[in-house]
């Protein structure tokens, strides 16, 4: 069972999929919570689940390259000898697209297949789930 301490993540146990909808300023700490999900996935001991992050509620970005590099490095240490998972990021603008692509380039050899884009339909195919799962939160 995964419980998000920020009330922005919802775990679908039957699909082993975390759906995360963060809002506000994307800081280094917030990015670490989103990318690594340290306070929900790690706390539950479920590091092998796929994740979908809807970043359309992010209003600003306050990260440096060093922040993103550190976050990718920390996740690579956590994921040693783990199988590959899918991490999909729906973004609303070029700044977030570039930020997530930078993270993807830094983490690609660590067992995380990062997918980033503007269209939710691509993630439906990648994650092999119904669109409704990605668009709504469980009741």
Tens of pLDDT, residues 23-68 = 888 888 777 776 656 556 666 566 677 889 999 999 999 999 999 9
Sheet of 85-90: strand order equals 9-12, 17-20, 50-54, 85-90, 112-117
Give the whole-angstrom CA distance, residue 8 versus residue 72.
21
Helix axes 28-35, 65-78, angle to 10 degrees: 30
- Answer yes or no: is pLDDT of 7 > 80: no
Place domain 9-135 in its CATH homologous superfamily. Answer: STAS domain (3.30.750.24)
Return the domain boundaries, the chain. 9-135
Q: How confident is the model at residue 139 (pLDDT cuts 50, 70, 90)?
A: very low
- Could you tell me the pTM of the whole model? 0.86
């Amino acid at each position: 069972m995964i419980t998000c301490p920020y009330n922005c993540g919802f775990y679908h146990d039957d699909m082993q999929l975390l759906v995360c909808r963060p809002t506000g300023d994307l800081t280094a700490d917030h990015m670490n919570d989103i990318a690594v999900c340290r306070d929900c996935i790690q706390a539950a001991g479920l590091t092998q689940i796929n994740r979908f992050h809807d970043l359309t509620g992010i209003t600003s970005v306050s990260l440096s390259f060093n922040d993103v590099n550190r976050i990718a490095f920390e996740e690579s240490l956590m994921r040693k000898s783990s199988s590959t998972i899918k991490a999909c990021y729906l973004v609303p603008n070029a700044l977030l697209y570039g930020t997530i692509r930078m993270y993807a380039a830094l983490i690609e050899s660590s067992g995380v297949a990062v997918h980033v884009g503007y269209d939710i339909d691509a993630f439906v195919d990648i994650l092999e789930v119904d669109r409704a799962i990605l668009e709504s939160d469980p009741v």
